[in-house]
C-alpha cells in the first residue's frame, strides 16, 4: 500500500489518514531495522539527495533473489518520503489539529531529519510550532526539541542567525548545545563546532551536517594562513575528514611528506643569510650616497664666534686696553 492506492480525496478522511500513517510507520521501521549495523544505515541515508527524494519511483513488481548483503534500495525511502508528503497535504486539507496530527507531524519531522530531507521536516516543524501549537499546545520538552531543530536548520542551512535567535527568544529555548553550535558558526570556531556535534543527539547532528562543508573550508583557510607545515593528524582533527578525501574534495595543492603537510616551503637558511647581508650592504651604500649628496648641496657654514665664558666673562676681568685707560686717568687727574 503506497501513494498509488490513496488520492487526496480519500486522504481527507480521518480514518484513511490513520491507516495510511500506520502503513507508512510500519514500512519505515521495517526498512530501518533491516540493516545489520548503524554505519550501513547511515551510508544509505547519506546516499539520499534532494533530486532523488523529489522523484517518485514505483515499487518493482518482479521479485529478485536476496543476497547476503542488502544492496542500497533508495526507492523505498523515496516512496516513504513521497507518502509522508501526501499525508501532510491530507492533514492540511482536513485542517486536523488533534493529537493524531501532532504525533504524525512529529514523526514526519524526525524521520525526514534522519533522511536529510529539509523539504519534509522544515514545513512540519513550522506547522507544529506556529499553527498547531496555538490550538493544541505542545509540551515544554516538545517545544524545546522542535524549536532547537528549527534554530539549527536556520543557522546551518541558510546562515540566518538572526532568525535563529528570534526563534530562541520566542519559544524560550533552553538548550546549551544548540546555543554552542550556533555560536561556533557565528564565530567561525571549528573546534567548538566539532566538539558540539559529537555531544548532540542524532537528529541535531544530522541537521548540523548541512554546515559541515563550510566549516571544513573555513578551517582549511585558517590553517593555510597560519602555518607553513602541519601534521596530517592535526589537519584531520580540524576538518573532521581524512587528508586524502580533503585533497580531492577541495582540490588542495599542498604536498605531503612523511605524514607532514607542506603548505608553503620555507627559504633555505644559507640563502636567507646571504639576502640579509646583501640588504645590509645596499642600505650602507644608500646612506653614504645620501650623506654625500647632502654635503654637496648644503653651503659650508661659517665658524661661530663664541662668547667669552668663565673668568673672562666675569666682572673682575681686566679690560684689554687697561693701560691706556690708566694713562688717560692720570693725565686727567694730574
Cα–Cα distance, 188 to 31 (Å, whole number): 38
Q: Is 200 left (phi over 0), alpha (psi -120 to 50) or beta?
A: beta
Residue 218 lies in a domain: yes
User: Last residue of a domain, which of 125, 158, 185?
Assistant: 125
Mean pLDDT across the chain: 80
Residue 97 lies in a domain: yes
Residue range 272-280: mean pLDDT, rounded:
69
Whether 178 and 208 map to the same domain: the answer is yes
> pLDDT tens digits, residue range 134-172?
999 999 999 999 999 999 999 999 999 999 999 999 999
Residue 264 lies in a domain: yes
Residues forming a β-bridge with 256: 261
Distance of CA 53 to the CA centre of its chain: 27
Residue 313 lies in a domain: no
Number of domains in the chain: 3
Whether 119 and 149 map to the same domain: the answer is no
Residue 238 lies in a domain: yes
Whether 143 and 182 map to the same domain: the answer is yes
Q: CB pairs under 8 A, 24+ apart, for 22-27?
A: 24/80, 24/83, 24/84, 24/87, 25/107, 27/76, 27/80
**Residue 171 belongs to domain spanning:** 139-222
| Among 108, 97, 87, residue whose Cα is nearest residue 17 | 87
Residue 235 lies in a domain: yes
Whether 218 and 239 map to the same domain: the answer is no
Whether 158 and 241 map to the same domain: the answer is no
Query: Furthest-apart CA pair in the chain: how many Å?
Result: 159
Whether 7 and 27 map to the same domain: the answer is yes
pLDDT at 57: 40
**Per-residue pLDDT at 272 exceeds 70:** no
Residue range 89-103: mean pLDDT, rounded:
93
pLDDT at 88: 93
Residue range 248-272: mean pLDDT, rounded:
77
Whether 159 and 180 map to the same domain: the answer is yes
Listed in sequence order, the residues at least 6 apart from 132 whose beta carbon sits closer than 8 Å to its beta carbon are: 97, 101, 102, 105, 138
Cα–Cα distance, 3 to 83 (Å, whole number): 6
3-state secondary structure of 256: strand
Residue 133 lies in a domain: no
3-state secondary structure of 287: helix
Cα–Cα distance, 266 to 228 (Å, whole number): 7
Cα–Cα distance, 99 to 277 (Å, whole number): 83
> pLDDT tens digits, residue range 285-307?
888 888 877 777 666 666 665 65
Whether 30 and 115 map to the same domain: the answer is yes
Whether 30 and 117 map to the same domain: the answer is yes
Whether 101 and 151 map to the same domain: the answer is no
Radius of gyration of the chain (CA): 41
pTM above 0.75, yes or no: no
Residue 106 lies in a domain: yes
Amino acid at each position: 500500500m503506497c501513494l498509488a492506492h490513496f488520492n487526496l480525496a480519500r486522504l481527507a478522511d480521518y480514518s484513511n489518514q490513520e491507516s495510511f500513517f500506520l502503513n507508512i510507520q510500519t514500512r519505515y521501521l521495517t526498512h530501518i531495522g533491516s540493516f545489520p549495523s548503524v554505519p550501513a544505515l547511515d551510508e544509505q541515508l547519506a546516499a539520499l539527495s534532494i533530486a532523488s527524494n523529489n522523484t517518485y519511483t514505483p515499487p518493482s513488481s518482479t521479485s529478485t533473489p536476496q543476497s547476503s548483503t542488502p544492496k542500497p534500495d533508495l526507492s523505498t525511502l523515496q516512496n516513504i518520503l513521497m507518502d509522508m508528503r501526501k499525508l501532510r497535504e491530507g492533514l492540511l486539507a482536513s485542517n486536523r489539529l488533534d493529537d493524531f496530527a501532532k504525533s504524525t507531524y512529529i514523526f514526519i519531522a524526525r524521520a525526514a531529519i534522519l533522511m536529510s530531507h529539509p523539504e519534509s521536516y522544515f514545513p512540519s516543524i513550522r506547522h507544529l510550532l506556529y499553527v498547531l501549537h496555538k490550538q493544541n499546545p505542545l509540551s515544554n520538552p516538545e517545544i524545546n526539541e522542535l524549536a532547537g531543530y528549527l534554530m539549527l536548520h536556520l543557522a546551518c542551512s541558510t546562515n540566518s542567525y538572526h532568525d535563529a535567535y528570534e526563534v530562541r527568544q520566542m519559544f524560550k529555548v533552553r538548550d546549551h548545545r544548540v546555543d554552542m553550535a550556533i555560536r561556533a558558526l557565528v564565530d567561525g570556531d571549528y573546534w567548538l563546532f566539532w566538539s558540539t556535534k559529537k555531544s548532540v543527539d542524532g537528529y541535531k547532528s544530522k541537521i548540523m551536517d548541512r554546515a559541515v562543508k563550510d566549516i571544513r573550508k573555513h578551517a582549511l583557510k585558517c590553517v593555510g594562513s597560519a602555518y607553513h607545515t602541519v601534521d596530517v593528524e592535526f589537519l584531520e582533527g580540524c576538518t573532521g575528514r581524512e587528508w586524502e578525501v580533503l585533497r580531492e574534495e577541495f582540490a588542495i595543492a599542498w604536498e605531503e611528506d612523511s605524514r607532514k603537510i607542506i603548505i608553503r616551503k620555507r627559504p633555505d637558511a644559507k640563502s636567507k643569510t646571504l639576502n640579509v647581508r646583501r640588504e645590509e650592504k645596499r642600505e650602507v651604500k644608500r646612506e653614504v650616497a645620501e650623506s654625500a649628496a647632502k654635503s654637496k648641496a648644503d653651503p659650508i657654514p661659517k665658524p661661530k664666534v663664541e662668547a667669552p665664558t668663565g673668568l673672562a666673562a666675569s666682572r673682575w676681568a681686566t679690560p684689554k686696553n687697561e693701560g691706556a685707560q690708566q694713562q688717560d686717568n692720570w693725565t686727567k687727574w694730574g
